[in-house]
Amino acid sequence: MKLNSDVVLKVLKVLTWAGFLGLCVKAGSLLFSYSVSMFFNPIGAKNLYMGLDLSQLKEQSSSEYSILFFFIFLIIALQVLMFFVLLQIFKHINLVSPFDEKIRKLILNLSMLTFGIGLLSKLTVGFSSRFISQGMSFPHLFEHIDIGDSFVFFAGILFFISVIFKRELNYKMKTN
């Protein structure tokens, strides 16, 4: 069976929607669990989302617990935005003539978002390492934040693609 670009594009759209919705659920669940742990039941910090346990930090310092949670939540929120931009690309892409200024700007925005996720991830790993070196244990933390290198690399690739788009658009303008 031969796969054509339309089929691949439809499958990618479905997968992107699934990722977007999954990350929205994750962000909402994290925010709800954090609110419960801060205002109603401190034991909620034991399982914020999918085994993420920041209860030791919560017991030591509510403000540092809130800072670490904010970093984790911001990483997830930026990932939601990243998937939203991907959906916008799929919405506006024209496979007959893909080199479009709007698509270039969306790819550039995607590059900046992924770079921000990578940097924030590295910052969060550094922030949490201080507590880990003091003997605290944060089960499943790195499953949620240790993605920085991949995202920084991905951001570089996307930036390079946006530069190619810009050069192609400039070339088209000169030849017209």
List, for residues 111-125, the tens digit of each pLDDT value: 999 999 999 999 998
| CA-based radius of gyration for the chain | 20
Nearest to 52 by CA among 67, 34, 74, 28: 34
Determine the Cα angle at 152 with ends 150 and 156, to 5°: 115
- Supply 57's token pair: 């930090």
Residues with Cβ within 8 Å of 77's Cβ and at least 6 positions away in sequence, in order, are 27
DSSP secondary-structure letter at 107? H
Length of the chain: 176
Nearest to 51 by CA among 30, 35, 65, 66: 30
Contact 115, 155 (CB under 8 A): yes
Using 50, 70 and 90 to split pLDDT, how confident is the model at 2?
low
**Residue-by-residue DSSP string for 53-93:** --HHHHHH-HHHHHHHHHHHHHHHHHHHHHHHHHHHHHHH-
Q: What pTM value is reported for the model?
A: 0.87
pLDDT tens digits, residue range 77-114? 999 999 999 999 989 888 777 788 888 899 999 999 99
